[in-house]
A and B are shown apart, each in its own frame.
Chain A
Amino acid sequence: MTVIRATEVTKRWGATTALDRATFTIGDGITGLLGANGAGKTTLIGLVLGLHRPDGGTIEVLGRNPWTAGSEVRAKVGYAPEHDALPPDVRAHDLVRHLAEVHGLPRREATERANDVLYEVGLGEERFRPVGTMSTGQRQRVKLAQAIAHDPDIVLLDEPTNGLDPVQREQMLALIRRVGSVLDIDVVLSSHLLEEVERVSDQVLILDAGRVAGGGKMGELGEAATELDVEIAGTASQARDLVKRLAAVGAAATAEGRLVTVALESERVFDLVRDAVADGGIGIRRLERRTTSLEDVYLAADGGGTA
C-alpha cells in the first residue's frame, strides 16, 4: 500500500532548487532515505509534513494533500527530527502525553498511551525525570516515543542513532525494526550510515541534487557479483602465496593484506579455491561471494555530492 506518492514534485528555496521534479512512492515497511547533504531529504520530510508547499508537482500522503489537509495528515504521521527537540525541563512522561494530545488524542487516552509507549521503548523509572537529565540514549528513545504515541500510520525518523554508542545503536535499530514489523507502522529512515540502513530497511530511496537517483527493494539492488572474497587466517605473504597457487591452476586472483579476491569466471573456481587452500594448509577466516553493498549502489547513484 502506497503511503507517500510524489509526482514531479519541485521545491525551491530562493535560487536553490531543493527538489527537482522528483517522482517516487514510499510504501510498506521500512524505507531508507539516503542522499548527500543538500540532496533534498529534509525538504522532502517538510513537504510530507505539510510544512511547505511544493512549487510544482504533487505530493500525496495517506491519500491526502499535506499542505491543504495538514492536520488530517499529521494526525497519522509521526516525526522524530534530527536535532535536539525536547524541552529540557519537562518530564518525559508529561512531554509524551502533551504531544499525543496535540496530535489529537483526548487527555485520558493520551496519558495511557504515553505510559504504554514509554514502556515499549524501554524507559522505566526514567520517564518521570526531566528530559534534560537524561542521557543521549534515553533522549533518543523519548523522541521515538513521542513520534509513535498517537499510533500514526507512518513515522519519519531523521538520524535516530545520532550520538549513540554501538550497543545503544543496536538497541535503537532493534526498536525501529520492531516499529516497522511488529507494531506495523511504516517507517521512513533518513540516515547517513549506510550499514545501518542496509541492516534495517526493506527498500531504499536515494536522492541526489533534488532528483531520485536510485533505489529499490534491498534484495534486488545491484547485479550478482562475480568475485569471491577469501580472508585467510594467516599472513600477507601466505595470501600472496595462495594467489600464486591459484594462478597456477588458471584462477585469477589478487591479494590485499590477508584478503584474496578471486575472479569467479565459473562455478568451478569454488573448487579450485578449496583445493588450493587445502593443499597449502591455509586456514579460512571467511569465504564469501562479494555482493554489491548498499555503499556501492549509493556511490554509483549519488553523482558526487554537493559541498
Chain B
Amino acid sequence: MSDAVIHDRGYRPYDGPRLGQVHAVKSLTLHTLQRIFGLRRQARSKALPFIVVVLAYLPAIVFVGLSALLPKALRDATLPTYEGYYGFVSGAIILFVAFVAPEALCPDRRSRSLSLYLAALLDRTTYLVAKALAIFLTLLTVTVGPVLLLVLGLSIQNAGPDGLGELAIAVGRILAAGTSLSLFFTAVSLALSSLTDRRAVASATTIGVLIGSGIVAAVLEEALKFPDAFLLLSLNTAPYFLVNVIYGVTMGREATYEIPTLIIPLAVAAWTVAGFGFAWLRYQRLQVTR
C-alpha cells in the first residue's frame, strides 16, 4: 500500500461558496485603492500620491511640533486652530482630487478592461459605486486625517479644545466637514473623469474646471455685482463655505460674504448629486463589447 499521491494542479470543478454583488463591490474597491496608492506596482506610481498626502499632513505636523516648542502665550496668539486648516492645504487637496479619480476610472477604459467587470457580477451602477467608494475613502485621508491629527496632537499637549466634551464636538465637526468635503470632491471628480479614458486629460480637466469655475464665480460676484450666493458656483470654494457652516465659524475670506445659511448646504448637495448623476449617465451609455 503506497502513500504516493499525484497532485492534479489543473482545472477542477468548483462547488465552493459563491458570494454576491456586495463582495464584488468590496473586491473592486480594495483593488482600486491599491491601484491609487501604487501598491503592487513599480515605485514611481507610488510617488505622486504619497508626496501629496505628505503635503496635506505637513502643516498639521508642523503646528503640533511648534505647539510643543513655543511658550503658551505665543502659541495661543500665533498658531491657527483646526477650523482654518483647509486654508493651508487647499492646493494639495486640488492636486490630490485631480489625481485620484482619473487613476481610479480612466485605466479601466483605456485598457478596455471595463468589459470584463461588466461581464462579472457588477453592473454599471455597482461598478461606479465601488469606484466612488474608493475615491471617497482615499480623499478622506487628506480631508479628515490631517485635521484630526492636529486636534488630537494639540489636545495631548493641552493646547486643544477645553475638556472632553469640547473635544468630542470638535472631532464630530471634523468628521462631518471632512466627509462632506470628500463626498463633494468625489462626485465632481468622478463626473469629470468619466469624460475621457486618458488620465492626463482627466486630471487637467479637473484642475481646469475647479479653478475655472472659481474665476467665473469671482467675475460674476465682483465685476458684475451678482449676489454673493453666486460664489457657490465656484467648485473650488463652495464646499469650504459648508465647512464653515459646520464649524460654526466665520473666518477667512469666506466670512466677508453674505450668503443665506440655508443655501449653502443645498448648493453643495446639488453639486454632489449632479456630479454623481452625470457620471452615472455617462457610464450608462458607454459601449463596452466592441
Enumerate chain A interface residues (CB-CB to B < 8 A): 42, 45-46, 49-51, 70-71, 74-75, 77-79, 81, 83-91, 94, 98-99, 101-107, 109, 113, 115-117, 119-120, 146, 148, 150-151, 183-184
| 8 Å CB contact of A77 from B18, B111, B119 | B119
The B contact surface, by secondary structure, is loop
Instruction: Report if B225 contacts A (CB, 8 A).
Output: no
State whether B24 touches A104 (Cβ < 8 A). yes
State whether B289 touches A51 (Cβ < 8 A). yes
Closest chain-B Cβ to A234's Cβ sits at a distance in Å of 49
State whether A113 touches B289 (Cβ < 8 A). no
Given that A102-B28, A150-B14 are known contacts, is A88 also in contact with B111, CB under 8 Å in the complex?
Answer: yes
Residues from chain A with Cβ under 8 Å of B289 in the complex: 42, 45-46, 49, 51, 81
Closest chain-B Cβ to A280's Cβ sits at a distance in Å of 54
Residues from chain A with Cβ under 8 Å of B21 in the complex: 71
Q: Which of B10, B11, B20, B28 has the most CB of A within 10 A?
A: B11
Residues from chain B with Cβ under 8 Å of A106 in the complex: 16-17, 19, 23
Stretch at the interface among B66-74, B120-128, B133-141, B261-269: B120-128
Closest chain-B Cβ to A182's Cβ sits at a distance in Å of 8
State whether B113 touches A101 (Cβ < 8 A). no
User: How many B residues, CB 8 Å from partner?
Assistant: 37
Instruction: Report if B230 contacts A (CB, 8 A).
Output: no
Instruction: Report if B107 contacts A (CB, 8 A).
Output: yes
Interface string of B1-18 (1 = CB under 8 A from A): 000000001111110111
State whether A115 touches B24 (Cβ < 8 A). no
A91 to B31, CA, bound (A): 13
Q: Which of B10, B118, B121, B288 has the most CB of A within 10 A?
A: B121
Residues from chain B with Cβ under 8 Å of A146 in the complex: 116
Given that A83-B290, A87-B113 are known contacts, is A102 also in contact with B27, CB under 8 Å in the complex?
Answer: yes
Closest chain-B Cβ to A70's Cβ sits at a distance in Å of 6
A220 to B18, CA, bound (A): 39
The chain A residue with its CB closest to the CB of B117 is A102
The chain B residue with its CB closest to the CB of A130 is B41
State whether A99 touches B16 (Cβ < 8 A). no
Q: Which 9 pairs, one residue from A and one from B, show the smallest C-beta to C-beta distance?
A: A151-B14, A79-B119, A102-B120, A101-B27, A87-B111, A104-B18, A71-B121, A120-B11, A120-B10
State whether A102 touches B17 (Cβ < 8 A). no
Residues from chain B with Cβ under 8 Å of A79 in the complex: 115-116, 119
Residues from chain A with Cβ under 8 Å of B10 in the complex: 116, 119-120
Enumerate chain B interface residues (CB-CB to A < 8 A): 9-14, 16-21, 23-24, 27-28, 31, 40-41, 45, 107-108, 111-113, 115-123, 288-290
Residues from chain B with Cβ under 8 Å of A115 in the complex: 9
Beyond contacts A71-B21, A102-B27, A104-B18: 20 other A-B pairs, Cβ-Cβ < 8 A, are A45-B289, A49-B118, A51-B289, A70-B123, A71-B24, A74-B121, A75-B18, A79-B119, A81-B119, A83-B112, A85-B113, A87-B111, A99-B116, A99-B120, A101-B24, A106-B16, A107-B27, A116-B11, A146-B116, A150-B14
The chain B residue with its CB closest to the CB of A89 is B41
Closest chain-A Cβ to B182's Cβ sits at a distance in Å of 25
A75 to B10, CA, bound (A): 21
Residues from chain A with Cβ under 8 Å of B16 in the complex: 105-106, 109
| 8 Å CB contact of B121 from A86, A103, A120, A148 | A103
A217 to B116, CA, bound (A): 30
State whether B107 touches A87 (Cβ < 8 A). yes
